[in-house]
Amino acid sequence: MSTTLRFTKGHGTGNDFVLFSDPDGVINLTPDQIAAIADRHFGVGGDGVIRAVRSRHIADGAAALAEDDSAEWFMDYHNADGSVAEMCGNGIRVFARYLFENGLAELADGDTMAIGTRGGVRDLQRNLTGFQVDLGRWRLAGGEPLVRARNLKVGRPGLGIDVGNPHVVVALASDEELDTADLSYIPHLDPEPADGANVEFVVPADPMVKNGVGYIRMRVHERGSGETLSCGTGAAAAALAVRHWAGAGAPNQWSVQVPGGTVGVRMFPTEDGEHVSLSGPAELVFEGDLSV
Ligand SMILES: N[C@@H](CCC[C@H](N)C(=O)O)C(=O)O
C-alpha cells in the first residue's frame, strides 16, 4: 500500500535536497525508495534526501542526545543512491531553515540550535547570508591517497580530511584543469578508503590571500551522489587542505567558490581543539506530495 509524503525541495548553493518530516520516526524508506525520490528523471530529483525525525525516535539519535540533550531534531541524511551519510554541511543549513519555516523549531537571531547527525551534534546560528554551522573538530585522516580522475593525465596526491564525513582533497594546476576535469566518473583513489570518500578538486585564486581571507575554487565528486554544484563539508575540507599546504601564516578565514555559488569557512580554537565552521545560504524552493 502506498502512502503520500509531503515534501519540500531545498538547496544550499545548488546542492539540492528533498526534505520531509517524520517527527515520530514511523516512515522507514528503503534505499531503493530514497534513490527513486532523488532520481532526476523519474522522481523529485536531488543530491540527497533528508528526513527530519526527533532524535528520541531514531536509533542513531541516542548518541546525539547523550552528547547534547537539547538536540531535539536529527538530520537523517541519505545520498542520492540511497546510502547513509554522517553529515552534510549544505544539507544541515537547509534542514535548519526547513524546521524553522515549518514551525518545528525556533531560532532567534543570536540563538544556537543543536541538531543531531550521525557525525555528532552540530550547532547552528542564523547569519546575514543564511546559516552558520560549527562542523566541530576536524582531523587529518585517510592519509594521502593517489587520485585519478578520468581525464587527468597523471595521478595526483590527495589529502584525507575528516569533518564528520570523509574527504580527499586534490590540488589542480590551473583554472583550466579544474574547468575541464571530467567528474562524471567516480575518481579512483589508491589506496581506496574503506568507506569511500568525497573528492574535492581545488585551485587557489591569484592572489590566494586578500585582506586576510583565502580564496579558492572547488569542484567535487560526492560519495553516493556524483558531481554536485556544491558540498559544504567538502568546502571546509578543501580550505583546511589548502591552509595545510600553505603552511604557517595561512589565513583561518576562507571563501570557497563552487559551481553553485560561494560559501564561507572559518577555523577557530576551542577548548577541545580547533573547530571549523561553514556559512552560506539555505533556500526552500517548492513543496509537493509524492506517493511512496
Ligand atoms: N553535500 C554534502 C555532503 C553529503 C554527504 C556526502 N555525499 C557523503 O557521503 O559523505 C555537504 O554539503 O556537506
**15 CB near ligand 1 (under 6 Å):** yes
Of 200, 204, 247, 249, residue with least CA distance to 222: 200
**In terms of domains, do 123 and 157 share one?**
no
Same structural domain for residues 112 and 14? yes
* From 35, 64, 71, 88, the catalytic residue: 88
- Mean pLDDT calculated for residue range 57-67: 97
pLDDT at residue 228 tops 80: yes
From the list 94, 199, 231, 239, the catalytic residue is 231
Residue 127 bridge partners (DSSP): 130
Q: What is the pLDDT averaged over residues 265-282?
A: 97
Confidence class for position 121, pLDDT limits 50, 70, 90: very high
Judged against a pLDDT cut of 90, whether residue 64 lies above it is answered with yes
* Residue 231 among the catalytic residues: yes
**Grid cell in block for residue 170:** 586534490
Query: What local confidence, expressed as pLDDT, does residue 142 receive?
Result: 87
Q: Which atom of ligand 1 has the smallest separation from the CA of 90?
A: 12
Looking at residues 271-288, what average pLDDT do you find? Answer: 97
Atom of ligand 1 nearest to the CA of 12: 12
- What's the pLDDT tens digit per position in 86-115? 999 999 999 999 999 999 999 888 899 999
Residues 223-239 have a mean pLDDT of 98
222 is in an annotated binding site: yes
Task: Residue 62: give its domain's CATH number.
Answer: 3.10.310.10
Centre a 10 Å sphere on the Cβ of residue 254 and count the other Cβ atoms it contains.
25
- What is the tens place of the pLDDT at every residue in 148-165? 988 887 889 999 999 999
**Domain hosting residue 77, numbered range:** 4-134+281-291
Alpha helix segments (H runs only) across the chain: 31-38, 61-67, 89-101, 175-180, 232-246
The answer to whether residues 21 and 91 belong to one domain is yes
**191 shares its domain with 258:** yes
Same domain, 108 and 119: yes
Q: How far is the CA of 165 from the centre of ligand 1 (A)?
A: 7
Q: Where are the alpha helices (DSSP H) in 133-226?
A: 175-180
DSSP codes, 5-35: EEEEEEEETTEEEEEEE-TTS-----HHHHH
Residues 121 and 153 in one domain: no
Span 160-185, pLDDT tens digits: 999 999 999 999 999 999 999 999 99
* 68 and 193 inside one domain: no
Known catalytic residue: 102? Answer: no
User: Looking at the structure, do residues 89 and 181 belong to the same domain, yes or no?
Assistant: no
Same domain, 145 and 236: yes
- 167 and 231, same domain (yes or no): yes
Q: State the average pLDDT for the chain.
A: 96
Residue 211 is labelled as binding a ligand: no
* pLDDT tens, residue by residue, 18-32: 999 999 999 999 999
105-130 average pLDDT score: 93
277-291 mean pLDDT: 97
Angle of the 232-246 helix axis to the 89-101 helix axis, nearest 10: 140
Is the pLDDT at 46 greater than 90, yes or no?
A: yes
Above pLDDT 70, what percent of the chain?
100
Higher pLDDT, 3 or 195: 195
Single pTM value for the model: 0.97
Q: Is the pLDDT of residue 208 over 80?
A: yes
Whether 173 and 123 map to the same domain: the answer is no
For the chain, what percent of residues have pLDDT higher than 90?
92
Ligand 1 center to 1 CA (angstroms): 32
* Same-domain pairing of 184 and 272: yes
- What's the domain count of the chain? 2
CA of 141 to the centre of ligand 1 (A): 17
